[in-house]
Amino acid sequence: MVTSKNNAFLMDPGGVELFSAMLANVIKEVPVEKITHIFASHQDPDVISSLGLWDQALTTATLHSPWIWEGFIRHFGMNNITYSPIPDEGGSIQLDEVSLQYIPAHYLHSSGNHNIYDPKAKILMSGDIGAALEEPEAPLFVEDFEQHIPKMKMFHQRWMPSNRAKNDWVARVRKLDIEMMCPQHGRIFRGDDVKKFLDWFEALEVGILAG
Amino acid sequence: MSDSTNYFVAAAVIAAKLDRATKVSQRLSLTASNARVVVLRAGESAAGFRPLTDAIHSLADITVSSSKRINTIAATLSKTSVQMFRADRALKYFLDVYARAKGSPNLASLDESFERTKAEYERLSTLYRKQVKNLGDELSSIESELRSAVILKTLCETEATRAKGEYREAFISVSRNVESTAREIKELIGYSRRQVEILK
Ligand SMILES: [Fe+2]
Ligand SMILES: [Fe+2]
């Protein structure tokens, strides 16, 4: 979650089963009415199936998500929240003093997918990119990049279908100044590990039946 | 009211049964039309049968239109019950948040959402009760209409015995059709009535 003076921007709020834990944690930080924006990087249930409940908690919020998923995401239940479609080429959103950018990450893994980049904090919220399959008690940060590779490899090869889209993303992200890259699952990449990840990912062949 | 998982399933089941009842009623119309053709062919010997075909027709019309109407009510009820379930579920989640974030100074900010959802739940449950009652009333009225089917069947049989030999068989089959379709509709209605009891 990113908070600005009057607004809170909640990213990939998660599945139905996590709703009360998520809202309880959010409420510890900000009052409910401050949550004015929700972002769903893509349509997956682990990203946004809690929408039907958020919709009853927040009546005036806006959901930002790739335009191609509007019809899909509505199935999670959306009567009050407004859908704001993000175009394929991305864009940005200004919340009081905070400015965030939508970085296109299509086909990684979802065919309509965006990352969030905070240029001031130099953080990239990379969604499923850089995600690792490991126990929930795993440490917060990547400690040894080489050792972390086996936990990421199969997921990236099996879930992500396009080398072209992948390399396109790597080129785009290389231009950003990133201090931390935070995937939705797994560990956070810091400093040099961000570059190591980009190099590794660029060289990786995806779209194969690995695993 | 019954537990939350059963009630909207029951409403959906009723809607499905009523959809079936509409189709069966349409078959009754067909029976009436067939009977009319036989009456025309049979001429004078079937004079007594003519008013009966009219009666079959009007019974068919009544059951078709009323089962369609009931079907609409049941479908609306099914929708209401799903919305009610959603509101009910949200309330349970909110209560869970109250427990989990206990002591947080922002917790009161959830009150508005909670109260609104609760008001919505109450509105839906009033609507729900109204729709259930409405459905029950409609079902009883179609049930009493269907009682005339038994009389119709008996009258048809009596007339059939008066008809000339070659037409007798056709009239007997008409009376059987009236009886069997009416019985089928009755069963569907009876089943729906028992489901409505669950909803209350
Ligand atoms: Fe995903
Ligand atoms: Fe994911």
| Higher pLDDT pick, A47 / B23 | A47
How many A from CA of A159 to the centre of ligand 1?
Answer: 9
* Total domains, chain B: 1
Distances from the Cα of B63 to the Cαs of A6, A175, B70, B135, B182, in angstroms?
60, 72, 10, 15, 9
- Domains of chain A, with CATH numbers? 1-88 (3.60.15.10), 122-211 (3.60.15.10)
End-to-end, the C-alpha distance of chain A in Å comes to 33
pLDDT at A210 over 60: yes
Mean pLDDT of B6-23: 82
Which ligand is located closest to the Cα atom of residue A44? 1
Least confident of B70-74, B90-94, B122-126: B70-74
pLDDT at A128 over 70: yes
Q: How confident is the model at residue B5 (pLDDT cuts 50, 70, 90)?
A: low
Measured in whole angstroms, how far is the alpha carbon of residue B11 from the centre of its chain?
A: 11
Q: Residue B2: what pLDDT? A: 41
Q: Does B93 contact A19 at a Cβ distance shorter than 8 Å?
A: yes
For residue B90, give the chain A residue with the closest CA.
A53
| Owning domain of residue B158 | 5-199
pLDDT at B16 over 90: no
Whole-angstrom distance, CA of residue A142 vs CA of residue A182: 10
Whole-angstrom distance, CA of residue B191 vs CA of residue B160: 32
Q: Does A32 contact B113 at a Cβ distance shorter than 8 Å?
A: yes
> Does this complex have an ipTM over 0.95?
no
Measured in whole angstroms, how far is the alpha carbon of residue A53 from the centre of its chain?
A: 20
Of A78, A92, A183, nearest to A141 (Cα)?
A: A183
Mutation site for A-interface testing, chosen from B97, B100, B121, B124 by largest number of A Cβ within 10 Å: B97
pLDDT per residue as tens digits for the range A11-57: 999 999 999 999 999 999 999 999 999 999 999 999 999 999 999 99
The answer to whether residues A38 and A62 touch, using CB atoms and an 8 Å cutoff, is yes
The answer to whether residues B137 and B196 touch, using CB atoms and an 8 Å cutoff, is no
The answer to whether residues A116 and A125 touch, using CB atoms and an 8 Å cutoff, is yes
The helix or strand, by DSSP H or E, that contains position B92, with its residue range, turns out to be helix B50-100
Mean pLDDT of B147-156: 86
Is residue B89 less than 8 Å (CB to CB) from chain A? yes
Measured in whole angstroms, how far is the alpha carbon of residue B59 from the centre of its chain?
A: 16
Amino acid at A27: I
The answer to whether residues B35 and B105 touch, using CB atoms and an 8 Å cutoff, is no
How many A from CA of A110 to the centre of ligand 1?
Answer: 6
Backbone angles phi, psi at A44, to 5 degrees: -65, 145
Q: Residue B19: what pLDDT? A: 85
CA contacts within 13 A on the Cβ side of B178? 31
pLDDT per residue as tens digits for the range B106-124: 999 999 999 999 999 999 9
Q: Which two structure tokens, joined as six digits, stand for B118?
A: 């609760």
Within 8 A of B87 by CB-CB distance, chain A residues are 56
Which ligand is located closest to the Cα atom of residue A107? 1
Q: Residue A97: what pLDDT? A: 95
Please name the member of B96, B101, B108 whose beta carbon is closest to the beta carbon of A28: B101
Q: Residue B1: what pLDDT? A: 40
